[in-house]
Structure 1
Amino acid sequence: MINGRPKGGLLGAPKVLPGAKTPPAQFFNQRLDHFNGDDFRTWKQRYFVNETFVKLNGPIFVMIGGEGPANPKWMIEGTWIEYAKIYGAICVMLEHRYYGDSHPVGDLSLENLKYLSSRQALADLAYFIDWFKYNGYTSLNLSNSKVITFGGSYPGSLSAWFRSKYPYIVDGAVATSAPIYAQLDFKEYLSVVKDALDTTGPKCNEEIKNATTTMYEWWGLREKRPQLESMFQLCDKINQSNILDLYGFFSNTAANFENVVQYNKDNRAFEGAIGTDITLDTLCDIMTDFTRGTPIQRYADVNTLILNTYSQPCLDYTYDNLIKDMRKTDWTSDAGEGGRQWMYQTCAEFGWFQSADYSNQPFGPSYTNPANYSMLQCSDIYDKEFFYNIANNVAETNRYYGGRDISVTKVVFPNGSVDPWHAMGVTKDISSDATAIYINGTAHCANMYPARESDLPELVAARKHIADLIYKWIQ
């Protein structure tokens, strides 16, 4: 994971029936720079439309794309589709600039990344919705249609910010699992992970701590390093003097737990449904199965499970390899799938660097994964000046959007208690017209995925509450 972002983006894809037909991609001439009146350059931005449920004077539902390819599966499945059936909405999804097939520039060089920002993305939405309502879909009269935006995770933030900055365009916003407060050191992330693991019993975190304590000791012992390399299937031999490799090792092994907790039992299905059956219970069952041997062996067993699940031959943990991969600027590289872009956004706007700086977490002491580790990546991947300016970048983001004091109406903020991102979100009502829904027992964006019989009552109630608010907004 890169700052909480797995491959494909923070929001997964809903399950669809085999052979289900998704709408074709369409492309719109989007402005490159909305904030330079002398720049008339345009590019092709991808979007999808589903008009199956549209009724006369029905609303326009807009799903906001995020830090990964826009997945057309969302055009035929998910809770928003159920809302569209109820309210006769036309559904549109706009892919975020720089992700998927929406390439505003020739490559991902630092010079070209200057047009990648949340502010440009919001302006994209405004420009697109205005075009779509009045010119883009002439087969229907949409000029008087109400507009409701939907987003999960970072797009959830965009949904809330769009309503705040462009209230004359959007009539209501669903901002699911939306981190609206930018923060350089996101130490609360591991605090929530720890609390989630505690729900299985106190032994899980205790055994993780025992394992990571031994891992740190073995890293410094020449006679133990070969055993550590073998147990964790490391791609490269350990260079004990390289502190950055130590950070990478502890960060990547902790990510085995972070990724599972973030999406625990949320009914998502990435392509091929890889890993969706692994839950925090799965991992804690391994950590507390004393027949497997020592705590460090059990922690390594978790690592092996994740490597095998994702068909990875070994654990790549070295800093040099990370930087080498993230410096690739072509769209077809692994970094170009979204990692290079998202890392840039966190460096330039948000922070959200998940560190070990929370003192009571079990994944190793703070010096095994400090926030400075991510800050140094910003410097080494892009430009050395980032290291000194990130704090100012984060502060400016909060000044612009309002941070926790965001001024907004007609927005709902659903968050799950198991989702680490709720710590950066809105979990209490801002006002009677900007409400929070805190869903105990659910993870990242759970309310967006298709309903199932095993859904918790609070999750069922949350979906109903959102439906009622949408009804109110479109009247």
Structure 2
Amino acid sequence: MTSKLVVVFLLLAGSIAAVKSLHIPGFVNGKPLRYHLDGIRLPGNVAADNCANETWFSQVVDHFDSSNKDMWNQRVQVNQKFFNASITDRPLIFLMIGGEGPAEQKWVCREDYTYMKLAKYNKALVIQLEHRFFGKSYPYVKNSTMGDMSTSTLRLLTSQQALEDLAYFIKNYKFNGNIAFTNPRWIVFGGSYPGSLCAWFRADPRYSNLTLGGICSSAPLLPKLDFYEYAEVMEFAFKNWSAIQKTNCDQLITQGFAQLRQNTYTDSGRAMLNSMFNITPPLNAAMDNYDLYATNFLANIFNVFQGIDQYTFDGRDNITIGGYNIDNLCKKMLASPSDPLTGIKNVVFWDPTNSNPGPQNLDNDYYGDVSLFNQSYYDYSNYGAADIAAGRGWMWLCCGMALGWLQTTDNSNGMFNRAVNLK
């Protein structure tokens, strides 16, 4: 089992490297550490925030233990821009389900997002409910801002509890704290893990009568340990794009990852990679548990391609709209047609907001990165700490709660050459 859990640690460790150096965008299983990096890298994104009113909802700590009477404050973001507050009978409410990270206001503020266009057209009230144990929504808190993520408390972090949170919220929500709607029409929204919650909420007969409908996007419906299908979809996107543009970008990526993995396991190859990527600490076969460092390095590279691929099409923001996408990734690969490794390096160190980023290095301190997830308390008032806490929470959902969804490259097509395998 330990070897299987390594995949989660590797993907998370690649994300923490990004927090230390903005040259490498950070991703946790395909979802970026966007909660503060957007504001740092592209201040324009902040303009999409602050349209919503942040409030707190008194939520049940443990829905499955009637003897536990504890309550906690769950963060709620409300945008009433399109809503006619005088309509209290059968109002339409769009509920965005929070996921494995702090609730970003852009999801209730960005009017160019499809569901926000629907909200405007239908004059809906838009609400986002932050997931328990993420952002500022902790059932137990110490010293006002220290969220309790000890293992004894993480037993309360389950998708079952999250579904009950949604149900309790819908049943008890009051607009502006004191207005109870009559026969409100709730529509739930979610993508990726929140998409799974959305689908489970709609399908479960205990909850299905609480909502009129749901749009549940990119939603894995069943737990699965080796989730190699994610990489297959990535490959399809690169191959399809290459076919449309009539280029061999997909072939160059395949060749580059094959060379990358091969060089990771030879002395001369490691020396070349250390020089090319300025890997810190350098890859060295004499390291204890070298395979962890090697796979961590490969996962760091894969995560960059993973994030650009997914967010070319989904959850777009100023970075991707501004050119951080598959089209420009392929242009970087095609600029070195006889040297795909250089193309990969140029993608990894690509900073769309800075044409002269200075010294470039790839942080690959596996144990140092993983140690950040060993804490029991995180200061959620600190953006960096909140992101790290989200990594610990997501790790718990994948492993402790056994959702799995470990995004490996063990698929048969082989574009990424088993860079991140399960074992």
Deviates more, 1:117-126 or 1:186-195: 186-195
1:253 aligned onto 2:301? yes
**Does the CA contact (< 8 Å) of 1:325 and 1:334 recur in 2?**
no
SS in 2 for 1:120: helix
Give the match for residue 2 of structure 1.
Answer: 28
- Deviation string for 1:208-263 (max 9, x for gaps)? 23223322333333244232112112121112251111111111111111111111
Amino-acid identity (%): 32
Once the two structures are TM-superposed, the CA of residue 306 in structure 1 deviates from its matched residue by: 5.1
Cα 1:92–1:117 change in 2 (3 A) is same
Do 2:53 and 2:79's aligned partners in 1 also have CA atoms closer than 8 Å? no
Which residue type is aligned with residue 358 of structure 1?
N
Tell me how far apart the structure 1 counterparts of residues 300 and 236 of structure 2 sit (CA, whole Å). Answer: 20
Write out aligned runs for 1:284-303 (5 A): 284-290=330-336, 294-303=339-348
Alignment CA distance shift 1:187-1:86 (3 Å)? same
Question: Alignment partner for residue 47 of structure 1, among 76, 83, 87?
Answer: 76
SS at match of 2:189: strand
What letter is aligned with 2:369? L
Q: Counterparts in 2 of 1:363-402, with a 5 A limit?
A: 363-364=416-417, 366=418, 368-372=419-423
Asked whether 1:138 is paired with 2:138, we answer: no
Query: 1:167-203 CA distances to partner (integer Å, 9 max, x unpaired)?
Result: 1211211112222232111111111111211121462
**Residue identity in the other structure for 2:345:** A
Matched, 1:152 2:191: yes
Q: Structure 2 unaligned segments of length 5 or more: list them.
A: 1-26, 142-147, 380-384
- Alignment TM-score, normalising by the size of structure 2: 0.77
For 2:351 and 2:301, how far apart are their aligned partners in 1?
10
The Cα offsets for residues 260-300 of structure 1, whole Å up to 9 and x where unpaired, read as: 11111446226xx4785211121122222236x52222221
1:236 counterpart = 2:293: no
**How far 1:154 sits from its partner (Å)?**
1.4
- Higher mean C-alpha displacement, 72-81 vs 116-125: 72-81
C-alpha spacing 1:316/1:307, structure 2 compared with 1 (3 Å):
farther
Residue 376 of structure 2, aligned match among 329, 338, 341: 329
SS in 1 for 2:133: coil
SS at match of 2:56: strand
Contact 2:324 2:352 in 1 (8 A): no
Query: What is the number of residues matched between the two proteins?
Result: 363
Preserved CA contact (<8 Å) 2:134 2:386: no
Tell me the equivalent position of 1:129. 170
Q: For 1:18-167, what aligned pairs fall within 5 Å after superposition?
A: 18=47, 21-55=50-84, 56=87, 57=89, 58-76=91-109, 77=111, 78-106=113-141, 107-132=148-173, 137-139=177-179, 141-165=180-204, 166-167=207-208
Which residue type is aligned with residue 234 of structure 2?
A: V
SS of residue matched to 1:168: helix
Runs of 4+ in 1 over 4 A off after TM superposition: 306-313
Shift, 1:308, TM fit:
8.1
Cα separation, 1, equivalents of 2:190 and 2:305: 25
Are 1:361 and 2:419 an aligned pair? Answer: no
Between the aligned partners of 2:276 and 2:260, the Cα distance in structure 1 is: 11
Matched with 1:278 is 324
| Matched residue SS, 2:302 | helix
Deviation at 1:46, TM superposition (A): 0.7
Q: Which residue of 1 aligns with 2:395?
A: 343
Code of the residue aligned with 1:167 in structure 2: it is: S
Report SS of the residue matched to 1:371. coil
Task: Show CA shifts across 1:417-445 (max 9, x none).
Answer: xxxxxxxxxxxxxxxxxxxxxxxxxxxxx
Q: CA RMSD of the aligned region, Å?
A: 2.9
Stretch moving more, 212-221 or 254-263: 212-221
Q: How does 1:417-432 map to 2 (within 5 A)?
A: none
Distance in 2 (alpha carbons) for counterparts of 1:153 and 1:343: 15
**Which residue of structure 2 lines up, in the alignment, with residue 264 of structure 1?**
312
**Partners of 1:17 and 1:35 in 2: CA distance:** 39
Determine the C-alpha separation between the residues in 1 that align with 2:267 and 2:49: 55
1:190–1:361 CA contact under 8 A, matched in 2: no
CA distance in 1, matches of 2:45, 2:409: 37
Partner SS, residue 28 of structure 2: coil
1:124 shift after superposition: 0.7
Residue 390 of structure 1 aligns with which residue? none
SS of residue paired to 1:101: coil
Distance 2:45 2:296 in 1: 36
Aligned to 1:205, the other structure's residue is in SS state helix
The answer for the alignment partner of 1:181 in structure 2 is: 222
* Structure 2 CA distance for aligned equivalents of residues 204 and 20 of structure 1: 36
Report the AA paired with residue 124 of structure 2.
A
Q: Which one is further off, 124-133 or 334-343?
A: 334-343
Which residue matches 1:195? 236
Query: Are 2:190 and 2:217, in contact at CA under 8 Å, matched by a contact in 1?
Result: yes
Once the two structures are TM-superposed, the CA of residue 94 in structure 1 deviates from its matched residue by 1.0
Q: Report SS of the residue matched to 1:30.
A: strand
Deviations along 1:288-319, one digit per CA (max 9) or x if unpaired, are 2236x522222212112159869795222343
Matches within 5 A, 1:298-313: 298-305=343-350, 313=360
Give the aligned residue type for 2:306: E
